[in-house]
Amino acid sequence: MGAYARLAALFAALTAIFVGFGWIIGTLWFSDWVTGSLVFLALAAAMNLIAYFASDKIVLWSYRARIISEADRPRLHGTVREVAQRAGLPMPRVAIVPTDTPNAFATGRDPRHAVVAVTEGILHLLTEDELRGVLAHEISHVKNRDILVMSVAATIAGAISFMARMFWWNTMLGGSSRGRDNGVATLLAFLGMILAPLAAVLLQLAISRGREYRADHSGALAIGEPLALASALEKLEAANRRRPFRFGSPASQGLFIVNPFSPTGFVNLFRTHPPIQDRVARLHDLAQGVDRY
Protein backbone atom coordinates (compact mmCIF):
# COMPACT_ATOMS: atom_id res chain seq x y z
CA MET A 1 0.00 0.00 0.00
CA GLY A 2 1.35 3.43 -0.91
CA ALA A 3 2.15 6.07 1.69
CA TYR A 4 -0.86 8.22 0.84
CA ALA A 5 -3.23 5.22 0.83
CA ARG A 6 -1.89 4.22 4.24
CA LEU A 7 -2.33 7.78 5.44
CA ALA A 8 -5.94 7.88 4.22
CA ALA A 9 -6.63 4.59 6.01
CA LEU A 10 -5.04 5.99 9.17
CA PHE A 11 -7.19 9.12 9.02
CA ALA A 12 -10.31 7.00 8.48
CA ALA A 13 -9.46 4.80 11.47
CA LEU A 14 -8.82 7.87 13.65
CA THR A 15 -12.16 9.35 12.67
CA ALA A 16 -13.92 6.07 13.48
CA ILE A 17 -12.31 5.91 16.94
CA PHE A 18 -13.13 9.54 17.72
CA VAL A 19 -16.75 9.19 16.54
CA GLY A 20 -17.07 5.99 18.58
CA PHE A 21 -15.98 7.90 21.66
CA GLY A 22 -18.41 10.62 20.70
CA TRP A 23 -21.25 8.12 20.66
CA ILE A 24 -20.32 6.92 24.17
CA ILE A 25 -19.83 10.41 25.58
CA GLY A 26 -22.96 11.70 23.87
CA THR A 27 -24.93 8.93 25.53
CA LEU A 28 -23.50 9.81 28.94
CA TRP A 29 -23.06 13.59 28.89
CA PHE A 30 -25.25 15.10 26.16
CA SER A 31 -28.94 14.90 25.44
CA ASP A 32 -28.44 12.29 22.73
CA TRP A 33 -25.72 10.29 21.00
CA VAL A 34 -25.96 12.35 17.79
CA THR A 35 -24.60 15.45 19.55
CA GLY A 36 -21.58 13.63 20.90
CA SER A 37 -20.88 11.95 17.57
CA LEU A 38 -20.99 15.26 15.70
CA VAL A 39 -18.77 16.99 18.27
CA PHE A 40 -16.14 14.29 18.00
CA LEU A 41 -16.44 14.12 14.22
CA ALA A 42 -15.48 17.80 14.16
CA LEU A 43 -12.68 17.09 16.64
CA ALA A 44 -11.42 14.27 14.44
CA ALA A 45 -11.36 16.57 11.40
CA ALA A 46 -9.37 19.15 13.37
CA MET A 47 -6.94 16.50 14.61
CA ASN A 48 -6.44 15.21 11.07
CA LEU A 49 -5.48 18.70 9.85
CA ILE A 50 -3.19 19.37 12.81
CA ALA A 51 -1.50 15.98 12.44
CA TYR A 52 -0.93 16.49 8.71
CA PHE A 53 0.61 19.95 8.91
CA ALA A 54 2.19 20.03 12.36
CA SER A 55 3.03 16.44 13.32
CA ASP A 56 6.76 17.04 12.81
CA LYS A 57 6.73 20.07 15.11
CA ILE A 58 4.75 18.16 17.74
CA VAL A 59 7.15 15.21 17.63
CA LEU A 60 10.24 17.42 17.88
CA TRP A 61 8.70 19.40 20.75
CA SER A 62 7.69 16.25 22.66
CA TYR A 63 11.31 15.02 22.57
CA ARG A 64 12.89 18.43 23.24
CA ALA A 65 14.72 18.14 19.94
CA ARG A 66 16.72 21.18 18.84
CA ILE A 67 17.43 21.96 15.19
CA ILE A 68 21.17 22.48 14.78
CA SER A 69 23.25 24.18 12.13
CA GLU A 70 26.29 22.84 10.32
CA ALA A 71 28.46 25.05 12.50
CA ASP A 72 27.12 23.25 15.60
CA ARG A 73 27.91 19.69 14.43
CA PRO A 74 29.86 19.79 11.16
CA ARG A 75 30.70 16.05 11.04
CA LEU A 76 27.11 15.02 11.70
CA HIS A 77 25.84 17.43 9.05
CA GLY A 78 28.45 16.15 6.62
CA THR A 79 27.38 12.52 7.13
CA VAL A 80 23.68 13.37 6.74
CA ARG A 81 24.44 15.30 3.55
CA GLU A 82 26.48 12.41 2.14
CA VAL A 83 23.72 9.88 2.79
CA ALA A 84 21.00 12.20 1.47
CA GLN A 85 22.97 12.79 -1.74
CA ARG A 86 23.40 9.04 -2.26
CA ALA A 87 19.63 8.69 -1.94
CA GLY A 88 19.02 11.57 -4.36
CA LEU A 89 17.22 13.67 -1.75
CA PRO A 90 17.55 17.27 -0.59
CA MET A 91 19.46 17.88 2.61
CA PRO A 92 17.08 17.47 5.55
CA ARG A 93 17.26 19.54 8.68
CA VAL A 94 19.20 17.94 11.53
CA ALA A 95 18.12 17.88 15.16
CA ILE A 96 19.64 16.73 18.44
CA VAL A 97 17.60 15.12 21.23
CA PRO A 98 19.16 15.87 24.65
CA THR A 99 19.42 12.39 26.14
CA ASP A 100 22.20 9.88 26.63
CA THR A 101 19.94 7.05 25.41
CA PRO A 102 21.19 6.32 21.88
CA ASN A 103 18.51 6.44 19.19
CA ALA A 104 17.38 8.23 16.03
CA PHE A 105 14.24 9.04 14.06
CA ALA A 106 13.04 11.01 11.05
CA THR A 107 9.92 13.18 10.80
CA GLY A 108 8.27 15.62 8.41
CA ARG A 109 5.49 15.43 5.82
CA ASP A 110 7.72 15.11 2.72
CA PRO A 111 11.42 15.17 1.73
CA ARG A 112 11.42 18.98 1.52
CA HIS A 113 10.21 19.25 5.12
CA ALA A 114 12.17 16.31 6.55
CA VAL A 115 14.08 16.34 9.81
CA VAL A 116 16.57 13.68 10.87
CA ALA A 117 16.99 13.62 14.65
CA VAL A 118 19.64 11.80 16.66
CA THR A 119 20.24 11.69 20.38
CA GLU A 120 23.40 12.83 22.10
CA GLY A 121 23.97 9.25 23.21
CA ILE A 122 24.11 7.77 19.71
CA LEU A 123 26.96 10.10 18.77
CA HIS A 124 29.05 8.68 21.61
CA LEU A 125 28.12 5.01 21.19
CA LEU A 126 28.45 4.25 17.47
CA THR A 127 31.40 4.23 15.13
CA GLU A 128 31.29 6.48 12.09
CA ASP A 129 30.30 3.60 9.80
CA GLU A 130 27.56 2.46 12.20
CA LEU A 131 26.19 5.99 12.48
CA ARG A 132 26.18 6.26 8.69
CA GLY A 133 24.13 3.05 8.59
CA VAL A 134 21.59 4.46 11.05
CA LEU A 135 21.32 7.71 9.12
CA ALA A 136 20.90 5.75 5.87
CA HIS A 137 18.02 3.88 7.52
CA GLU A 138 16.35 7.16 8.50
CA ILE A 139 16.95 8.75 5.10
CA SER A 140 15.35 5.65 3.57
CA HIS A 141 12.22 6.40 5.57
CA VAL A 142 12.27 9.85 4.00
CA LYS A 143 12.78 8.47 0.50
CA ASN A 144 10.09 5.80 0.94
CA ARG A 145 7.65 8.50 2.12
CA ASP A 146 7.23 6.72 5.45
CA ILE A 147 7.87 9.76 7.61
CA LEU A 148 4.49 11.45 7.13
CA VAL A 149 2.62 8.27 8.03
CA MET A 150 4.97 7.63 10.98
CA SER A 151 4.67 11.18 12.32
CA VAL A 152 0.90 11.31 11.90
CA ALA A 153 0.54 7.89 13.54
CA ALA A 154 2.60 9.04 16.53
CA THR A 155 0.56 12.25 16.87
CA ILE A 156 -2.76 10.44 16.54
CA ALA A 157 -1.83 7.65 18.93
CA GLY A 158 -0.75 10.19 21.54
CA ALA A 159 -4.00 12.14 21.10
CA ILE A 160 -6.12 9.01 21.46
CA SER A 161 -4.25 7.95 24.60
CA PHE A 162 -4.66 11.43 26.09
CA MET A 163 -8.36 11.48 25.25
CA ALA A 164 -8.86 8.07 26.86
CA ARG A 165 -7.19 9.23 30.09
CA MET A 166 -9.28 12.42 30.17
CA PHE A 167 -12.45 10.38 29.64
CA TRP A 168 -11.48 8.13 32.54
CA TRP A 169 -10.72 10.91 35.01
CA ASN A 170 -13.79 12.92 34.03
CA THR A 171 -15.95 9.89 34.71
CA MET A 172 -14.24 9.18 38.03
CA LEU A 173 -14.83 12.80 39.10
CA GLY A 174 -18.53 12.59 38.29
CA GLY A 175 -18.61 14.00 34.77
CA SER A 176 -21.53 11.82 33.67
CA SER A 177 -24.16 13.44 35.91
CA ARG A 178 -27.17 13.50 33.60
CA GLY A 179 -29.07 10.74 35.36
CA ARG A 180 -27.27 7.92 33.61
CA ASP A 181 -26.17 4.79 35.40
CA ASN A 182 -22.80 5.76 36.86
CA GLY A 183 -21.78 2.10 36.93
CA VAL A 184 -22.23 1.91 33.17
CA ALA A 185 -20.28 5.15 32.75
CA THR A 186 -17.44 3.82 34.89
CA LEU A 187 -17.31 0.57 32.94
CA LEU A 188 -17.26 2.40 29.59
CA ALA A 189 -14.58 4.77 30.85
CA PHE A 190 -12.43 1.87 32.02
CA LEU A 191 -12.83 0.02 28.71
CA GLY A 192 -12.06 3.22 26.81
CA MET A 193 -8.90 3.85 28.84
CA ILE A 194 -7.66 0.33 28.00
CA LEU A 195 -8.92 -0.17 24.46
CA ALA A 196 -8.33 3.26 22.90
CA PRO A 197 -4.53 3.32 23.40
CA LEU A 198 -4.44 -0.33 22.32
CA ALA A 199 -6.35 0.56 19.15
CA ALA A 200 -3.87 3.38 18.49
CA VAL A 201 -0.91 1.00 18.82
CA LEU A 202 -2.59 -1.58 16.59
CA LEU A 203 -3.00 1.14 13.96
CA GLN A 204 0.74 1.69 14.10
CA LEU A 205 1.43 -2.04 13.92
CA ALA A 206 -0.56 -2.22 10.71
CA ILE A 207 1.86 0.16 9.00
CA SER A 208 5.06 -0.15 11.01
CA ARG A 209 6.87 -3.48 10.85
CA GLY A 210 7.13 -3.82 7.09
CA ARG A 211 8.56 -0.34 6.67
CA GLU A 212 11.34 -1.08 9.20
CA TYR A 213 12.50 -4.03 7.14
CA ARG A 214 12.29 -1.89 4.00
CA ALA A 215 14.32 0.93 5.53
CA ASP A 216 16.97 -1.53 6.78
CA HIS A 217 17.23 -2.99 3.29
CA SER A 218 17.40 0.24 1.31
CA GLY A 219 19.62 1.94 3.88
CA ALA A 220 22.13 -0.93 3.88
CA LEU A 221 22.24 -0.99 0.08
CA ALA A 222 22.66 2.78 -0.11
CA ILE A 223 25.88 2.74 1.91
CA GLY A 224 26.97 -0.72 0.78
CA GLU A 225 27.63 -1.86 4.37
CA PRO A 226 24.84 -4.08 5.77
CA LEU A 227 27.07 -5.26 8.62
CA ALA A 228 27.61 -1.71 9.88
CA LEU A 229 23.86 -1.24 10.26
CA ALA A 230 23.51 -4.69 11.83
CA SER A 231 26.18 -3.83 14.41
CA ALA A 232 24.50 -0.49 15.12
CA LEU A 233 21.11 -2.17 15.68
CA GLU A 234 22.60 -4.61 18.18
CA LYS A 235 24.32 -1.84 20.13
CA LEU A 236 21.20 0.35 20.11
CA GLU A 237 18.89 -2.45 21.25
CA ALA A 238 21.13 -3.32 24.18
CA ALA A 239 21.65 0.31 25.21
CA ASN A 240 17.95 1.17 25.05
CA ARG A 241 17.06 -1.82 27.21
CA ARG A 242 19.60 -0.70 29.82
CA ARG A 243 18.57 2.95 29.71
CA PRO A 244 15.11 3.55 28.19
CA PHE A 245 13.69 7.01 27.57
CA ARG A 246 12.30 8.79 30.61
CA PHE A 247 10.28 11.30 28.62
CA GLY A 248 8.09 11.26 25.54
CA SER A 249 5.22 8.86 24.86
CA PRO A 250 5.33 5.11 24.14
CA ALA A 251 2.67 5.86 21.51
CA SER A 252 5.48 7.27 19.36
CA GLN A 253 7.85 4.31 19.70
CA GLY A 254 7.32 3.44 16.02
CA LEU A 255 9.20 6.58 14.97
CA PHE A 256 12.55 5.37 16.31
CA ILE A 257 15.01 2.97 14.73
CA VAL A 258 14.68 0.77 17.86
CA ASN A 259 12.07 1.01 20.61
CA PRO A 260 13.39 3.56 23.15
CA PHE A 261 10.91 2.74 25.93
CA SER A 262 10.86 0.15 28.67
CA PRO A 263 9.25 -3.10 27.47
CA THR A 264 6.98 -3.20 30.53
CA GLY A 265 3.30 -2.33 30.37
CA PHE A 266 0.21 -3.61 28.55
CA VAL A 267 0.57 -1.47 25.44
CA ASN A 268 4.18 -2.50 24.93
CA LEU A 269 3.11 -6.13 24.52
CA PHE A 270 2.30 -5.01 20.97
CA ARG A 271 5.62 -3.90 19.55
CA THR A 272 5.87 -1.69 16.50
CA HIS A 273 9.33 -3.02 15.55
CA PRO A 274 10.25 -6.45 14.18
CA PRO A 275 12.46 -8.59 16.45
CA ILE A 276 15.97 -7.15 16.43
CA GLN A 277 17.46 -10.62 15.95
CA ASP A 278 15.56 -11.05 12.70
CA ARG A 279 16.56 -7.61 11.43
CA VAL A 280 20.21 -8.35 12.17
CA ALA A 281 20.03 -11.82 10.62
CA ARG A 282 18.56 -10.41 7.40
CA LEU A 283 21.34 -7.84 7.18
CA HIS A 284 23.98 -10.54 7.67
CA ASP A 285 22.36 -12.55 4.88
CA LEU A 286 22.31 -9.46 2.67
CA ALA A 287 26.06 -8.99 3.26
CA GLN A 288 26.56 -12.54 1.95
CA GLY A 289 24.43 -11.89 -1.13
CA VAL A 290 21.22 -13.51 0.17
CA ASP A 291 18.35 -11.02 -0.05
CA ARG A 292 15.50 -12.08 2.27
CA TYR A 293 13.61 -8.83 1.86
138 labelled catalytic:
yes
3-state secondary structure the chain: CCHHHHHHHHHHHHHHHHHHHHHHHHHHHCCCHHHHHHHHHHHHHHHHHHHHHHHHHHHHHHCCCEEECCCCCHHHHHHHHHHHHHCCCCCCEEEEECCCCCCEEEECCCHHHCEEEEEHHHHHHCCHHHHHHHHHHHHHHHHCCHHHHHHHHHHHHHHHHHHHHHHHHHHHCCCCCCCCCHHHHHHHHHHHHHHHHHHHHHHHHHHHHHHHHHHHHHHHHHHCCHHHHHHHHHHHHHHHHHCCCCCCCHHHHHHECCCCCCCCCCHHHCCCCCCHHHHHHHHHHHHCCCCCC
Give the span between the Cα atoms of 30 and 204, in whole angstroms: 32
139 CA to centre of own chain = 15
Which of the residues 70, 120, 130, 138 is marked catalytic?
138
Give the span between the Cα atoms of 173 and 144, in whole angstroms: 46
CB of 204 closer than 8 Å to CB of 157: yes
User: What residues act catalytically?
Assistant: 138
